[in-house]
Each structure stands twice: as C-alpha cells, then as structure tokens.
Amino acid sequence: MDAKDLIKRIKEDNVNFVSLQFTDVLGSVKSVDMPLRNLAGALEDGVWFDGSSVEGFARIQESDMRLILDPDTYAVLPWSPEESKRARIFCDIYTPDGKPFEGDPRGTLKRAMKRVTDRGWTFNIGPEPEFFLFKGTNGHGVHPVPHDVGGYFDFSSFDEAVVVRTKLMEALMSMGIEVEVGHHEVALGQHEIDFRFTDALKAADNVLTLKYTVKAIAAQHGLTASFMPKPVFGINGSGMHCHQSLFDKNGNNVFFDANDEMKLSATARSFIAGQLKHACALAALVAPTVNSYKRLVPGYEAPVYIGWAQINRSALIRIPRYTEGRDKSMRAELRFPDPSSNPYLAFAGMLAAALDGIDNNLTPPKPLNNVNLYHLDKKERKKMGVGELPGSLAEALVELERDAVLKEALGTAAYEAFVRAKWEEWDDFRLRVTDYEIERYLEVT
Ligand code: GLU
Ligand code: MG
C-alpha cells in the first residue's frame, strides 16, 4: 500500500487519529499519536522523536531518531470509540543520517530475515500465545485470581470466557489477523488464540497486536489479561510455542522430504540441530524475564530439557505428526518461548541459531520419541546426552554473553541494550526479600 492508498483508506474508515508504534528493546509497545491531518507529512518525512528516553535507544548526545511508517501494517483499533476512531501503523527506526538504527528490534529481525530471503526462502512462524484472564481488581491492585473454573478445551455456553474470547477473535480478525483457533487452556482462567503462520516479521507484528488487543478487550469486560509466563504457583504457566518452517520461492516447504521416515528434510534436521545447540543462550531472548524460569520447570507441559521429538510435549522441539498430503504443514514447534519476550528479538535469535545449524550441516541427536523427559533423573539424562535449559535469567544471560552467533544476530546496539536492561532486572529481583524466604526462614532460623 503506498501513501496515497493509505490516506484514502483511512478516510474511508473514518479514522481521526493514528498511533505510530514501535517497541523498545524489552518489547514494550511505544506510541506517538497524531491527528489525521499530519499524516501525509509523516508518511513523506517520517516523525522525529527523542530516542534517549526509550529503553535501549540512543544516548543523550545523539538522541534524535526518526520513525519511518510501514503502511502495510495499518489497522483500525477496533475498541476505539466511533467518534474518535484510531488506527495504528508500525514503524521502523532510522538515525538522523538516514540509516536503519541498529538497536531497533523490528530492524534487527528484518536484518536477520534478509539472510534467508537472500537464499530465496521465507522464514514462517505460527505463534501460540497463551494468557490468563483475571478478575477485575476494583482498584485494589492486581491479584492473580483466575476468572473461571474451566479446563483444557472446556465448553460452556454461558461462560464469560466464551463471550470475551469471541470478542477477541472478532477484534483480531477485523485487524487483518487470520485467527485459526481460540480455546480454553489447561489452567483455570487460561486461554490461547492461535493465528495462521506468516513470515516472521508479520508474525512478530501480530504477536504485539494480539497482546494489546487482548488487554484492551479484556478491560472492557472488567478483566485483566496477563501474558506473564507463570502468574500462579502450582498450575500451568503461559507459553508462546512457535511453529516454524522455511518455504522456498515456489511456496514449497523446505522442511518436507517424502523419502525420509519422519518426512523431514536434511535442512530441517540441521535447523533443529542449530536451535538445540544454541538453546541455552537463546533462552535469554525467548524466555527473557525473571518469571520465565518459574514456568520452565518439570510437570507443567513446558520444556526443561534440551531435546527434540515427534510426539513428545516435554521436548524443547516437537515435530507434529505428518498427515498425508499436508507437506506444507511440516514444521518444528519450539516450545520454550513465552509471551513476555520481545517477538522481534526472539524470532531473530531463533533464526540465527537455525541458520548456524544449516550453514554448518549440523545433525541433531536422536529424537526422544516416547520418553517422558520429566521422568528421567539427572544420571539417565546425562547418559542420553540430554542437556538442561538455564534455571534462571542470570544463567541464561551468561550463556548469551558467550554466544557469538546470537550476539552477531542482534547487532551491538540491541545486544548491549538488551543485556544491560536484563542484568538490571535480575539485580532488582535478586535484592528483594520474598514471601517465600520469610515463611521459610524467619521463625526457624
Ligand atoms: N501452557 C503450557 C506451557 O507453558 C503448554 C500447554 C500446551 O501444550 O499447549 O508451555
Ligand atoms: Mg497451548
């Protein structure tokens, strides 16, 4: 869509305001709002803003940054009121000398994707973000009290969750997202909405769209939506499994090989091997919060050990079973990402790890079919050569600091800003005295 088409479309949609959006290095959505009359100028010249106030962006002395609008990402925000209708457009960030800013997460993913488009391939991702709906708080702060008593795929005709989930799916579809399914997840108050796979850039844009749309629509129903990886102790947390594949120029799935017993091509196997090799460092990008590591523990359908398998949901990478004639659906489901990640940086890291496997013809270890990894002890896992994911954000960051491939994929600016912000987050957490410690130690020590 060019600038003229966009303005015409915006007028037809009766939109009055446009939110120009981008993310900081942590994945928080930032927005500059503009009345429609200024849009033509913004489309032509971009919009200047002060980058020094954004986490991970420019230093004070070089703070001017420019937003360049991506008209293809135009979507009306369906919850905005009719009389002041609002749309959003995602932006790329440029430096004053007209170059893409190296610390822009969206730009980082674009750079990473160029390495596959140069080979004539597309990197596809179908993310499955899970989330909780919690009861309204009546101004008393947020307490994670699930709003229902449902379980996996539960159906109830009058359930509030069905009403909210239907509204959510309608809202997302009106924004151009191809919703595939929405369902109740295993835990109380937990839900999942899956959308059709697309190229990784669009998939990352879609994840951000889904997150803020879910929050906005939930709030309209007096509920608080949370994508926190493990909001409630003792029940399943929320992941964002990513179904990944590579397509060639003709739309054929590079992962498919009719002659292989699992129908997996050598390229797919090397892709998997690369992601397994870099898993510990990749954790810092796909599970990037202190809380992420409360989810990656045994017993809650989230992976803990580094292996791959066809049927096994305890594995880090799962290959969904092949159905005759569905060559396009051959894919590798990476199960440790969670929705607290910045999807641009997470997907850029996933791709770089996979390409390292492909470029070096790595072969993965034997698949761990029919083994429940949660049931193996340390010795058995060692014998099978099955490694473990980092147990904390700090461990993951140490791994990231050692990983030249992922560091290069992020680029110096994004990498440095990311690890700086994440070590601060870790230290902030480490310094606190938790309820657990008081209960455990106060009286008995
Ligand atoms: N909620 C689980 C997780 O944390 C996944 C459940 C599922 O298999 O969809 O990853
Ligand atoms: Mg799920």
Q: Could you confirm whether 313 is annotated as catalytic?
A: yes
Q: Look at residue 290 and tell me if it is in a domain.
A: yes
pLDDT tier at 96 (50, 70, 90 boundaries)? confident
Q: Which member of 88, 241, 243, 381 is catalytic?
A: 241
Q: Is the CB of 260 under 6 A from ligand 1?
A: no
CATH number of residue 185's parent domain: 3.30.590.10
Q: Is the CB of 237 under 6 A from ligand 1?
A: yes
Q: Which member of 24, 70, 104, 128 is catalytic?
A: 128
Among 48-52, 174-178, 217-221, 349-353, the minimum mean pLDDT is found in 48-52
Domain span including residue 45? 3-99
Q: Which member of 194, 205, 333, 399 is catalytic?
A: 333
pLDDT more than 70, % of the chain: 93
In testing the pocket of ligand 1, which one of 183, 185, 294 has its CB within 8 Å of the most ligand atoms? 185
Q: Which member of 24, 130, 356, 403 is catalytic?
A: 130
Q: Is the CB of 130 under 6 A from ligand 1?
A: yes
Q: Is the CB of 236 under 6 A from ligand 1?
A: yes
Q: Look at residue 384 and tell me if it is in a domain.
A: yes
Residue 415's alpha-carbon distances to 6, 38, 97, 260, 421, in angstroms, are 34, 34, 22, 38, 10
Q: 146 and 27, same structural domain?
A: no
What tens digit of pLDDT does each residue of 319-333 get?
998 888 888 899 999
What tens digit of pLDDT does each residue of 420-432 get?
999 999 999 999 9
Q: Could you confirm whether 102 is annotated as catalytic?
A: no
Place of tokens 């009290």: 145
> How many CA atoms within 13 Å lie on the side-chain side of 3?
12
Q: Look at residue 105 and tell me if it is in a domain.
A: no
Left if phi > 0, otherwise alpha if psi is -120 to 50, otherwise beta: which for 14? left
Q: 163 and 28, same structural domain?
A: no
What tens digit of pLDDT does each residue of 279-333 get?
999 999 999 999 999 999 998 999 999 999 987 778 899 999 888 888 889 999 9
Q: How far apart are CA 103 and CA 415, in angstroms?
A: 8
| Span from the CA of 118 to the centroid of ligand 1 (angstroms) | 34
> How many CA atoms within 13 Å lie on the side-chain side of 265?
17
C-alpha Rg value of the chain to the nearest Å: 22
**Which of 331, 338, 29 minimizes the C-alpha distance to 197?**
331
Is residue 245 pLDDT above 90, yes or no? yes
The domain tally of the chain equals 2
99, 129, 152 — which closes off a domain? Answer: 99
In testing the pocket of ligand 1, which one of 192, 286, 291, 301 has its CB within 8 Å of the most ligand atoms? 301
What is the enclosing helix (H) or strand (E) of 129?
strand 122-134
Q: Look at residue 26 and tell me if it is in a domain.
A: yes
